[in-house]
Amino acid sequence: KNEVEQSPQNLTAQEGEFITINCSYSVGISALHWLQQHPGGGIVSLFMLSSGKKKHGRLIATINIQEKHSSLHITASHPRDSAVYICAAEYNNNDMRFGAGTRLTVKP
């Protein structure tokens, strides 16, 4: 069983919609990463959180340490946001465990 669970696996939205991707992890972590993988395969690190909330442009990431849960939100979604979004949990031994990813398609 994967230690990091993401939902949904696939998400289709219309341009302008508010999007939420969820991530749950099973044990205590030192940090939670959100990554974006483009159709060509390149990966960009979006956020790294250990508590609270971070915002960058239309992207917002939150984490609840007690509930072992993080969310990635995209406001006013755009077709260029179409990508696979990956949640990764980093543990104190620098080991990382990755979720299976959420494939987001935003239609114009």
Partner 1 sequence: GAGVSQSPSNKVTEKGKDVELRCDPISGHTALYWYRQRLGQGLEFLIYFQGNSAPDKSGLPSDRFSAERTGESVSTLTIQRTQQEDSAVYLCASSLVGGLGQPQHFGDGTRLSIL
Binder of partner 1 out of 19, 21, 101, 104 (CB under 8 A): 101
User: Per rule CB under 8 A, is residue 11 in the interface with partner 1?
Assistant: no
3-state secondary structure 48-90: EECCEEEEECCEEEEEECCCCEEEEEECCCCHHHCEEEEEEEE
Q: Could you tell me the two tokens for 10? A: 């696939």
Beta bridge partners of 19: 74
Binder of partner 1 out of 43, 52, 53, 78 (CB under 8 A): 43
User: Per rule CB under 8 A, is residue 31 in the interface with partner 1?
Assistant: yes
Under a CB-based contact definition with an 8 Å cutoff, are residues 37 and 101 in contact? yes
Cα–Cα distance measured from residue 97 to residue 25, given in angstroms and rounded to the nearest whole number:
9
User: Per rule CB under 8 A, is residue 92 in the interface with partner 1?
Assistant: yes
User: Per rule CB under 8 A, is residue 90 in the interface with partner 1?
Assistant: yes
Give me the least distance between CB of 53 and partner 1, in Å please.
Answer: 15
Binder of partner 1 out of 48, 54, 73, 82 (CB under 8 A): 48
User: Per rule CB under 8 A, is residue 42 in the interface with partner 1?
Assistant: yes
Q: Could you tell me the two tokens for 36? A: 């974006």
Binder of partner 1 out of 12, 45, 75, 105 (CB under 8 A): 45
